[in-house]
Every structure is written in C-alpha cells, then in structure tokens.
Amino acid sequence: MTLATIVRGLPGFELIGLAALDSELAVRALRCRSSPFSRRMQLRQLDESHAESRERFAIGAHRRVGTGMRWRVRRAPMLRPSMLRCFSSPAYFAVLPPVHVFPMAKFRQSAAMLREHSIAAVIDPGTISDADLMRVHTPDYAASLQTGHYNAATALKLGLPWHPTINVRARAATAGTLAAARAAFEDGLAANLAGGTHHAFPDRGEGFCVFNDVAVAVRALKRDEPVLQVMVVDLDAHQGNGTNFIFAGDPNVLTYSVHVGRNYPSVKVPGSVDVPLSRYTSADEYFDRLESTLPGAIERFEPDLVFYNAGVDVHVDDKFGQMKLSTSDMRRRDEFAIDATRRWGIPTVLVYGGGYNRTPGMTGWLHVQSVHVAASRWTLERGERS
Ligand SMILES: [Zn+2]
C-alpha cells in the first residue's frame, strides 16, 4: 500500500504535492528526502502502517517517518480554488511625493491585470496583527510607523517619506505574505502581489522595505509548527540583508540568494547560501550559477515551505539592479525556480521583491509575468492531479 493509497482512503484529506499522484511519483517526490536504502525501508514501514499511523498522518502536522523523511498531509480545502490564489487589496498603495523613484502604482496595476485577464484569483488579506508583527519587529519601530516619527536609521535609509498610508500599506502587504503561505500549504503554490521586502530589519526600515514580510510570516507559521523548515529563495538583484540578519543562526531557516555582489546593500549580512555575481553579468553566466547551486541547496535542506522572492530588478532596463536579463530570461528564471521546488511537491509562495524599470508600466508587467508563470504551473499540476 502506498502513501497515496492510504491518503485516498481518508475522506477530506489529500497529500500535498506530487506524492499524491501515484506510487511512481511518490517515490520521485521523496527521493530527496532519504538515501535509496532508507527510502525502501521507509516505504515498507508505510506498507505496514496501521490505523494509528494513518490517524497521525491525517491530523495535519508533519511527522517524521524513520529518519530524515517527512510526510505532510493536510485537510483538503472545502472549496477547491479554480485559479492560483493571490493576495492584494486597495491598501497596497501608499502616498509618495509626486516625483519619486519607487513605482507604487505597480501593485494596483498588476493586480488589475491579473484580474482582468483571469490569470489568478485576487483576494484581500486584511492586515497583519500586532502580535504577528512584533514577533519580528520592535514595538518602538512599529509605533514609529504609526506616528511618523521615524528613528534616525529609518529616516536615513528607508527612502520613503512618511505618510499614514506607508504604515497601512506595509501592514496589508505583510498580511498578504502570511495569507499566501497558508494558501500554499493547501494549494501547493500561491502568491502575494507585493512583499519580498528583504532589507527591513527588526528595528528599522531600509531600501524601500518597511516590514520584513517573509520573516513575519515565518515566525507566525512557526508559532503553530515550531520545527517547520523554511527556505527563502531570493532572486532579487539585491541581497536580503534584513532577512539574513533576522534568521542568522536559525537552523530551521535557510536563506539562498543570487545577487549582484557590488551593489546595494554595500554591507552584506551573510546568508546561508550566497551566490554573488559581477555587475551586468551575462545571462549565460547567470543561469550557470543559478542552475548549479539552487537544486542542490533545496535537496540538501529539504524545506517544508519555500518563499520565492521574484524581484524584477534583474531586468536589463532596471534603474538599480545592475543586471541585464531580458524579459524572456526572467520567464526562464521564474520557471526554473518554481520547478526546482514544485518537482519535490514543496509548498511555494511567490513574493514580488523589487523592480524600478525605466519604462513606465514595465515593472508591474514583469511582476505579472512572474505570477503568470506560477499560475501556469499551478494549472498544470491541478490538471495532473484530477
Ligand atoms: Zn532589489
């Protein structure tokens, strides 16, 4: 009896990921989780599993079976979504001075395009609670966003003049990343139509990043599942110094980043796996480095959840990225990153990251392309499962 068979016998439950398909794919999906020998042992152990084991699989927590292998079974949602679930709201907009380099319109613009073309379902995530926010950020910093009295470091480094909507937008966008993570556990893939604000530190904002949405989401999820293993795959042109700082020394969070070495932030905080590139590196060199490092990092760490920062400032026409990927190179990048996690059935959350394209409207369009890749993969998986 395979795990898929066991799970099929449990009304209202499904195995997340490729392992739900059939025994052949179950073996494939689990290949990274154990050596061939222990895998055989573990599958036999599953064959002999009794009613109590099934109950343990079914309660929704992930359990270790034997050594080094985890099964994740969750209650299937009552209503299956018909499209990739994405999170956004009218609050994803903050007022900036009339001439400002940050393309604030990209959030509303991309959400509207995704809706208009029926690429994804766009859902309002509400706002993040104080309790969730304070698991990462200091009370003083959070309060300063409400009053507008930025601390000195934030005033110097954030780059967004204060307005009440700065706080409202950042809280809504942080809620979107947490909501997308919860959706990804049910659907395999989900996206926040913002987020990836990886330069934010617990006590200050930097580089247009107010709150560290991914860190807040990780800590909120870990409240329920303390041993959750999370990987951050950061392919924004810049290194996620704030995220690296927050998770430094945490064995259950792996940060992986491909970025331009000599670019903002000038002082890097080391991550778990850093792949620095030279400025304006060729697409060939970029894919060489990405493709030779990302799959191995995923297979060694065996994450339960991946946050994919699909920053679009890697585009050739970006003002700050100092990279030169074309639009089609970026599609290839998104496909590679998403396939690298989904081939193992790992729940994956796409977040926007940065983008400052010289062509008006292009930044939002590039984000739409990333979400379109995720939506296409999600539709493909759904077809394979049904
Ligand atoms: Zn960036």
Tell me how far the alpha carbon of residue 11 lies from the centroid of ligand 1, in angstroms.
45
pLDDT tens digits along 120-151: 999 999 999 999 999 999 999 999 999 999 99
Which candidate, 172, 243, 191, places its Cα nearest to that of 347?
191
Spatial contact of 184 and 349, defined as CB atoms under 8 Å apart: yes
Question: CA–CA distance from 294 to each of 104, 258, 381 (Å)?
Answer: 31, 9, 21
Dist. CA 239–CA 243, nearest whole Å = 9
In the block, tokens 């030169």 appear at: 324
Spatial contact of 201 and 245, defined as CB atoms under 8 Å apart: yes
pLDDT tens digits along 249-280: 999 999 999 999 999 999 999 999 999 999 99
Confidence of residue 355 (pLDDT cuts 50, 70, 90): very high
Confidence of residue 345 (pLDDT cuts 50, 70, 90): confident
Peptide bond into 276 cis (omega under 30): no
The rounded mean pLDDT for the chain is: 84
Segment 55-80 mean pLDDT: 38
Dist. CA 21–CA 55, nearest whole Å = 20
Tell me how far the alpha carbon of residue 208 lies from the centroid of ligand 1, in angstroms.
9
Dist. CA 356–CA 97, nearest whole Å = 16
Tell me how far the alpha carbon of residue 376 lies from the centroid of ligand 1, in angstroms.
25
Q: Which of 35-39, 71-75, 365-369, 377-381 is the least confident region?
A: 35-39
Dist. CA 341–CA 348, nearest whole Å = 7
Which candidate, 97, 92, 96, 2, places its Cα nearest to that of 54?
2
What is the reported pLDDT for 79?
Answer: 54
Other C-beta atoms lying within 10 Å of the C-beta of residue 78: 6
Tell me if residue 224 falls in helix, strand or coil. helix
Tell me how far the alpha carbon of residue 49 lies from the centroid of ligand 1, in angstroms.
48
pLDDT above 70 covers what percent of the chain? 78
Whether residue 283 is predicted with pLDDT greater than 50 in this model: the reply is: yes
Whether residue 100 is predicted with pLDDT greater than 90 in this model: the reply is: yes
Tell me how far the alpha carbon of residue 47 lies from the centroid of ligand 1, in angstroms.
48
User: Which three-class secondary structure string do you get for 19-37?
Assistant: HHCCHHHHHHHHHHHCCHH
Tell me how far the alpha carbon of residue 192 lies from the centroid of ligand 1, in angstroms.
16
For residue 266, the one-letter residue type is: S
Tell me how far the alpha carbon of residue 257 lies from the centroid of ligand 1, in angstroms.
11
Which candidate, 251, 257, 291, 262, places its Cα nearest to that of 274?
257
pLDDT tens digits along 4-31: 554 444 444 444 433 333 343 333 333 3
Beta strands 63-64 and 70-71, pairing class: antiparallel
Whether residue 174 is predicted with pLDDT greater than 70 in this model: the reply is: yes
Q: Which of 45-54, 149-158, 211-220, 375-384 is the least confident region?
A: 45-54
Tell me how far the alpha carbon of residue 253 lies from the centroid of ligand 1, in angstroms.
21
Whether residue 326 is predicted with pLDDT greater than 70 in this model: the reply is: yes
Tell me how far the alpha carbon of residue 224 lies from the centroid of ligand 1, in angstroms.
31
What is the reported pLDDT for 225?
Answer: 79
Tell me how far the alpha carbon of residue 116 lies from the centroid of ligand 1, in angstroms.
27
Tell me how far the alpha carbon of residue 200 lies from the centroid of ligand 1, in angstroms.
12
What is the reported pLDDT for 29?
Answer: 35
Q: At what angle do helices 362-385 and 327-342 cross, to 10 degrees?
A: 30
Question: What is the number of H-type helices and E-type strands within the chain?
Answer: 14, 12
User: What does the angle CA 87 – CA 89 – CA 91 come to, to the nearest 5 degrees?
Assistant: 135
Tell me how far the alpha carbon of residue 55 lies from the centroid of ligand 1, in angstroms.
45
Dist. CA 194–CA 309, nearest whole Å = 10
User: What does the angle CA 338 – CA 119 – CA 366 come to, to the nearest 5 degrees?
Assistant: 60
| CATH architecture, range 85-385 | 3-Layer(aba) Sandwich (3.40)
Dist. CA 92–CA 11, nearest whole Å = 39
Confidence of residue 321 (pLDDT cuts 50, 70, 90): very high
* Pair of tokens at residue 363: 């930044």
Tell me how far the alpha carbon of residue 303 lies from the centroid of ligand 1, in angstroms.
24
- Which regions of the chain carry the CATH code 3.40.800.20? 85-385
Dist. CA 86–CA 149, nearest whole Å = 33
Tell me how far the alpha carbon of residue 259 lies from the centroid of ligand 1, in angstroms.
9
What is the reported pLDDT for 157?
Answer: 96
pLDDT tens digits along 102-111: 999 999 999 9
Tell me how far the alpha carbon of residue 50 lies from the centroid of ligand 1, in angstroms.
50
What is the reported pLDDT for 228?
Answer: 85
What is the reported pLDDT for 80?
Answer: 65
Dist. CA 201–CA 213, nearest whole Å = 11
Beta strands 273-277 and 253-260, pairing class: parallel
Which candidate, 382, 229, 249, 221, places its Cα nearest to that of 299?
229
Tell me how far the alpha carbon of residue 260 lies from the centroid of ligand 1, in angstroms.
10
Tell me how far the alpha carbon of residue 106 lies from the centroid of ligand 1, in angstroms.
15
Spatial contact of 57 and 2, defined as CB atoms under 8 Å apart: no
Segment 34-46 mean pLDDT: 32
